[in-house]
Structure 1
Amino acid sequence: MLERLELEAFLTLAEELHFGRTAERLHVTTSRISQTIRKLERRISAPLFDRNSRTVTLTPLGKQLRDELRPAYDQISASIAAASQGNSVKRTIAVGFSAAWCGNLMVKATDLFRIRYPDTVVDVEEIQLVDPLGRMRSGAVDLQLTEFPIAEPDITTGAIMFAEPRALMVPAGHPFAARESLSMEDLADATLITLADELIPRYWKDYHFPRRTPSGRPIPQGPATNFWPEVLVHVSQGVGVSTAALRAEQFHARPGIVFVPFRDAPTIDYGLMWPSAGQNPLVQRFVETIAEVALSDH
């Protein structure tokens, strides 16, 4: 008896004839697809695919198995879909966002998703940047719009939805506050307030709160806070400065803080991520919906 992944991997690879595209469609790694196919071939003691460095083709036995399995699989899938539509219990997807401007996009996408799929429930929650991956890894959220980079083996990332220029938040009386723009090299002359890094990937923190300037000069590190409001309080009280998306000024402007744009900093890129395994079947539908909304918004 075939396992579900074996069946889906075989039929998808038989259609795509490409391990990478098959893995992408099934939201698993290419090596997982390769291992699954090899396991299936060992079970039947015969190759189902001929593959080399350039092409993947079905063997005669592979074609026979595809032709026998496909109709049954399609019938089962159709029956499950029909039963799902007739079920009075609504399907649920939980989505998260990590910044107010991400929240605006997420709410618009949620409204459109509910119109298109009225049989679904969408739960939306804000994700604290001090633990950007925890809610997803615990299974609390199925999809998250967040600051990149994200490079985790158990998490799949989608395309960049939008990018924001970067700014430095400085106290109103700070010498930088009178500048029209700043260089990343200026960070060597300030104390940088950051987020606590117990649950934040090191590469993520180094991108958003660097320890050195592009030329290698050390950046003095100030308090590491647990929540964004604490960063704002420290900056307004003159404890230090902190990096942010320039767009944050629209949501967090206050008398004691000035947002000064960087002229040479890389943008902050925002994109979607979701678990690589055990994915909610509604994820790809939501990905398509939010991409459509992001395109019209930006």
Structure 2
Amino acid sequence: MDRVRVLERHELEAFLVLAEELHFGRTAERLRLSQARVSQTISRLERRIGAPLFERTSRRVALTPLGVQLRDDLEPLHREMGEAVARAVAAARGVAGVLRVGFLGAGAGELTSAVLDAFRTANPGCEIQMRETHFADPLGPLRAGEVDVLVTRLPVREPDLTVGPVVLSEPRVLAVPARHRFARRQQVSLEDLARETVFGVTGPAPDYWWDFHVPRFTPSGRPVRRGQDVATFQELLALVAAGQGVSPVAASVERYYARPDIAFVPFDDAPATDVAVVWRTAGATARVRAFAQAAGEAVAANGGPARF
């Protein structure tokens, strides 16, 4: 009992990291300590336990049976302790509770999973509720207070909204009927839209947002003919399949909405479409700020926005 009473947390953390890595160098890097310090810490822990926890040779490090037992006993306790501290910190910061996250499209919902995982890990006391938004009114649920934060496609240029980290960037493709003359081409250009009919939108989406995704003019200034207005993405795809027009879309659409009567042809000159975290500036609660921070950390850990 006396030995257990004097065990220190840094010794247990060193033990658990070494039990995972089985390498003193990598353990030292993770703990930001010297290898000598890690070795000394483990040796001191073994003396207090009263038996070796690791078998060491010049070529390998392995757990002894006692080490395996201690690891299996300590891991859930250590995890629960960390979660308890995180819950206390979240409550003190006002992060505990429910965060309502809106997302636009299946691709954005799946490809932002790293952000959601990072947020849940840092804020276990906060529940996330997801809600899909629609391109006809991408900002409406945020403005109406139905969601607290939005993962949506740019551009967003609204004086009352803050645009946070970009979490996804992907190329654009042109959705055309499977029998369209473009369907067998390797690529198309924005200038090709001058010879086609695209679709308008029913809803309060900002004009600049819709013009970016389906331009009214080609780069050389030629007008792009607008056809029927659409209200939902499924309606858009149905009209494309029926030969009523074509539409620029994000490349991820081909994965999540593939159908045999539509072909997706890459653009060679359209700018990428980005997905970012957006929130009401006046509604920047502790939960919203924590989500934005988690998004920034996930992007940094990935070396930049996710690429499709």
Q: Could you tell me the percent identity over the aligned residues? A: 40
In the other structure, the counterpart of 2:269 is 264
In the other structure, the counterpart of 1:104 is 110
Is the 8 Å Cα contact of residues 194 and 242 (structure 1) preserved in structure 2?
no
Is the 8 Å Cα contact of residues 111 and 168 (structure 2) preserved in structure 1?
no
Structure 1's 174 and 206: CA in aligned 2 closer, same or farther, altered over 3 A?
same
Alignment of 1:149-228 (within 5 A): 149-196=155-202, 198-228=203-233
- 4+ residue stretches of structure 1 with deviation over 6 A? none
Unaligned 5+ runs, structure 2? 1-87
Instruction: Please give the alpha-carbon distance, in whole angstroms, between the structure 2 residues aligned to 1:171 and 1:247.
Output: 17
Unaligned 5+ runs, structure 1? 1-80
Instruction: Please give the alpha-carbon distance, in whole angstroms, between the structure 2 residues aligned to 1:156 and 1:163.
Output: 19
What residue identity is the alignment partner of 1:129?
A: F
SS in 2 for 1:239: coil
In the other structure, the counterpart of 1:130 is 136
Instruction: Please give the alpha-carbon distance, in whole angstroms, between the structure 2 residues aligned to 1:131 and 1:86.
Output: 32
Instruction: Please give the alpha-carbon distance, in whole angstroms, between the structure 1 residues aligned to 2:194 and 2:257.
Output: 25
In the other structure, the counterpart of 2:247 is 242
Distance apart, 1:222 and its partner CA: 1.2
Q: Taking structure 1 as the reference length, what is the TM-score of the superposition?
A: 0.68
Distance apart, 1:85 and its partner CA: 4.8
What residue identity is the alignment partner of 1:146?
A: T
Larger radius of gyration: 2
What residue identity is the alignment partner of 2:165?
A: A
Given candidates 281, 288, 302, the residue that maps to 1:283 is 288
Is the 8 Å Cα contact of residues 185 and 215 (structure 1) preserved in structure 2?
yes
Distance apart, 1:109 and its partner CA: 2.5
Is the 8 Å Cα contact of residues 98 and 126 (structure 2) preserved in structure 1?
yes
What residue identity is the alignment partner of 1:243?
A: P
Is the 8 Å Cα contact of residues 165 and 295 (structure 2) preserved in structure 1?
no
Which stretch of the first structure deviates more once superposed, 97-106 or 166-175? 97-106
Structure 1's 201 and 109: CA in aligned 2 closer, same or farther, altered over 3 A?
same
Alignment of 1:18-37 (within 5 A): none
Instruction: Please give the alpha-carbon distance, in whole angstroms, between the structure 2 residues aligned to 1:226 and 1:165.
Output: 23
Distance apart, 1:293 and its partner CA: 3.2
Is the 8 Å Cα contact of residues 176 and 240 (structure 2) preserved in structure 1?
yes
Distance apart, 1:101 and its partner CA: 1.5
Distance apart, 1:126 and its partner CA: 0.7
Instruction: Please give the alpha-carbon distance, in whole angstroms, between the structure 2 residues aligned to 1:234 and 1:183.
Output: 21
Structure 1's 99 and 225: CA in aligned 2 closer, same or farther, altered over 3 A?
same
Distance apart, 1:227 and its partner CA: 0.3
Given candidates 211, 235, 238, the residue that maps to 1:233 is 238
Instruction: Please give the alpha-carbon distance, in whole angstroms, between the structure 1 residues aligned to 2:210 and 2:162.
Output: 19
SS in 2 for 1:231: helix
Is the 8 Å Cα contact of residues 165 and 292 (structure 2) preserved in structure 1?
no
Structure 1's 192 and 83: CA in aligned 2 closer, same or farther, altered over 3 A?
closer
Structure 1's 83 and 168: CA in aligned 2 closer, same or farther, altered over 3 A?
closer
Alignment RMSD, CA only? 2.2
Distance apart, 1:133 and its partner CA: 1.1
1:114 aligns with 2:120: yes
SS in 2 for 1:181: coil
Distance apart, 1:106 and its partner CA: 3.4
Aligned residues: 216
